[in-house]
Amino acid sequence: MVKSREWSRKTREEVITLHRKGNGYKKIAKMLNIPRETIGSIIRKFKAKGTVEMLPGRGRKEMLTSTAVRYLKHRVDKSPCVTAEELRKDLSDVGTEVSAQTIRRTLRNEGLHDRTPRRTPLLSPKNKKSRLQYAKSHVDKPQKFWDSVLWTDETKLELFGPMDQRYVWRRKNKAYEEKNTLPPVKHGGGGSIMLWGCFASAGTGKLQRVQGTMNSLQYQEILDDNVMQSVTNLRLGRRWTFQQDNDPKHTSKSTRAWLQIKGWNILEWPSQSPDLNPIENLWWDLKKAVAVRKPKNVTELEAFAHDEWAKIPVDRCKTLVSSYASCLKAVITVKGCCTKY
């Protein structure tokens, strides 16, 4: 049933005024451009109730008591993964029969929405302690220090990955028509590539494709080919700092010895902390930009990646690094747990 329109108080009062002056329903309806049935309803209500105000009791009755709503809020606060069906059964056990849809609607009205949970690293108590110590020991570093850090990391770029979700408009039972399918990956080598990249507050540095499975030796070669050139291009100066995570090939005995010979200042790094590396945000930007261009093969995938990496605005890099202190404060606030960064 379609809900009838609610007329304003001023309009309803005008109807009563015209009626008191002796005007009939039909004439009032024509004067105010309101349906005759509505005129009659307003006048009958006034005669019966003596008012044109909206009276209480209108609308659909609430199906859940305030106590039931409080229970639902408490339950999902303690167990966010509980389903609407499980909540329905809980209420049914105490004599309250409602649908799962009613429970979903009630929770949405209370500001609680069902969402896909964010993927975060599994943090042990040791990991949390290490992250918290890192944040506390670095939160007071001046911005000048963070501006001189060269942030590095590796990422996997897929030809038809989750960032490149594609859809087709098709009729029922037409899924396998050639125009409604995606062609196989050509020259794909698995349909993905691994990239090593770096950036600083001053912009993006070098980006290099990793051939095959990277080991400690190949990692050292990549650093040798790209790091100092990036430091020079980004004008980080003599007192710059090198950042890397705790991947085994980064912390192997041979890599540690190689880095010691280089004499680079290495930023200590807590394990399981991708949210503390701002380059993760740039990887996200890169994958979205490459997906928009819809590469057809791995050769295009790599070419587009280099092209889009070079296009990332300096302001984007600068903003990520300038907000790093806020990231560390967030880690301290949540006592070492994961953050939105």
> Does CATH place domain 9-49 in 3.40.50?
no
Q: What is the pLDDT of residue 80?
A: 84
pLDDT surpasses 90 at 324: yes
CA-nearest of 91, 93, 39 to 68 is 91
Residue with tokens 């790094």: 269
Q: How far apart are CA 54 and CA 59, in angstroms?
A: 11
Decide: helix, strand or coil at residue 166: coil
pLDDT surpasses 60 at 187: no
Q: Which residues pair with 204 in a beta bridge?
A: 199
Contacts with 176 (C-beta within 8 Å, 6 or more apart), sequence order: none
Residues in the chain: 341
Contacts with 109 (C-beta within 8 Å, 6 or more apart), sequence order: none
Side chain identity at residue 137, one-letter code: S
H/E run at residue 147: helix 143-147
Query: What are the C-alpha distances in Å from 238 to residues 51, 150, 225?
Result: 83, 12, 18
Q: How far apart are CA 321 and CA 315, in angstroms?
A: 10
CA-nearest of 270, 255, 262, 284 to 331 is 270
Report the mean per-residue pLDDT for the chain: 87
Q: Which residues of 118-142 are buried (b: 16+ CB within 10 A; e: fewer)?
A: eeeeebeeebbebbbebbeebeeee
Is there a contact between 192 and 156 (Cβ–Cβ < 8 Å)? yes
Decide: helix, strand or coil at residue 220: helix
CA-nearest of 152, 143, 124, 151 to 336 is 124
Strand duo 241-242 + 265-266: pairing:
parallel
Question: What average pLDDT does this structure show over 153-182?
Answer: 65
Q: What is the pLDDT of residue 59?
A: 54
Q: How far apart are CA 16 and CA 28, in angstroms?
A: 10
Helices first, then strands: H and E counts in the chain: 15, 5
Sequence spans of domains, the chain: 9-49, 66-109, 125-333
Q: Which residues pair with 200 in a beta bridge?
A: 203
pLDDT surpasses 80 at 74: yes
Mind giving me the DSSP string for 10-67? Answer: HHHHHHHHHHHTT--HHHHHHHHT--HHHHHHHHHHHHHHS--SPPTT-SPPPSS-HH
Q: What is the pLDDT of residue 51?
A: 82
Count of Cβ atoms closer than 10 Å to residue 334 Cβ: 14
Query: What are the C-alpha distances in Å from 4 to residues 36, 58, 59, 191?
Result: 14, 12, 11, 57
Question: What average pLDDT does this structure show over 298-326?
Answer: 97
Pick the CATH number of 125-333 from 3.30.230.10, 3.30.420.10, 3.90.1150.10, 3.40.50.1220: 3.30.420.10
Q: What is the pLDDT of residue 333?
A: 94
Q: Indicate the range of 28-42, 166-180, 283-297 predicted with least confidence.
A: 166-180
Side chain identity at residue 160, one-letter code: F
pLDDT surpasses 60 at 178: no
Side chain identity at residue 135, one-letter code: A
Q: What is the pLDDT of residue 162?
A: 60
Taking only Cα atoms into account, the Rg of the chain, rounded to an integer number of angstroms, comes to 32
